[in-house]
Amino acid sequence: MIAANDNSRGIVILLCNLTDAMALPWLDGGYEVVMIDPQHGETTVRDGVTRFAGTIVEAGDLLGRLIRSGRVVFVAGFPPCTDVAVSGARWFEAKRMADPYFQAKASIVAEQCRMTGLLSGAPWMWENPVSVFTNIFGPAKHTFHPHEYTQFCADDNYTKKTCLRVGGGLPHAA
């Protein structure tokens, strides 16, 4: 499914990723990018980017092939925050009434991001705002406020404190 490019510098996997914002710097640097998200609508391969229209579980065969290729250089995950961000805590009870497992399901997706990173052997990270994930995965290794970087991406000017959980050789906070 991925167009093998032996001239690329390696493969970057972006999980729960719909937009090109994270992909473009890697593409510009000579890497192939594989983005996995059910919101892609259809799976496409074009210009060094594979957009897999499915969940991480549905992409399991593809992810296995990529990891076994030894060409994965970085994995990033952006699991949905809708059901876990503390900024939305006032809606948790209503969500719990509708689905008692709503946060467990969100945690499974975050764990899939973490495990893909671990299995890849490459540096990895997954991102989420301040959330109940601290109670599940422990404290984040890094935090930042995206608005501090507005000069890099003016249309991404939100102030929600964001957490990074990292591994595979990415440095931890001191």
172 falls within a domain: no
Task: Give the span between the Cα atoms of 33 and 145, in whole angstroms.
Answer: 26
- Whether residue 91 is predicted with pLDDT greater than 50 in this model: the reply is yes
The domain spanning residue 117 has which CATH number?
3.40.50.150
Give me the chain's average pLDDT, please.
87
For the segment 95-107, what is each residue's pLDDT rounded down to a tens digit?
999 999 998 999 9
- Whether residue 146 is predicted with pLDDT greater than 90 in this model: the reply is no
70 falls within a domain: yes
Task: Give the span between the Cα atoms of 107 and 95, in whole angstroms.
Answer: 15
Whole-model pTM? 0.88
Least confident residue range of 19-23, 35-39, 45-49, 141-145: 141-145
| Res. 129 pLDDT band, cuts 50 70 90 | confident
1 falls within a domain: no
Structural domains in the chain (count): 1
22 falls within a domain: yes
100 falls within a domain: yes
For the segment 3-12, what is each residue's pLDDT rounded down to a tens digit?
556 678 999 9
6 falls within a domain: no
For the segment 40-70, what is each residue's pLDDT rounded down to a tens digit?
999 999 999 999 999 999 999 999 999 999 9
4 falls within a domain: no
DSSP 97: H
3 falls within a domain: no
Q: Which domain holds residue 90?
A: 11-167
Question: What b/e sequence results for 93-122 when a residue is b if at least 16 CB atoms lie within 10 Å of its CB, and e otherwise?
Answer: eeeeeeeeebbeebbebbbbbbebbebbeb
Hey, what are 67's tokens? 């990891």
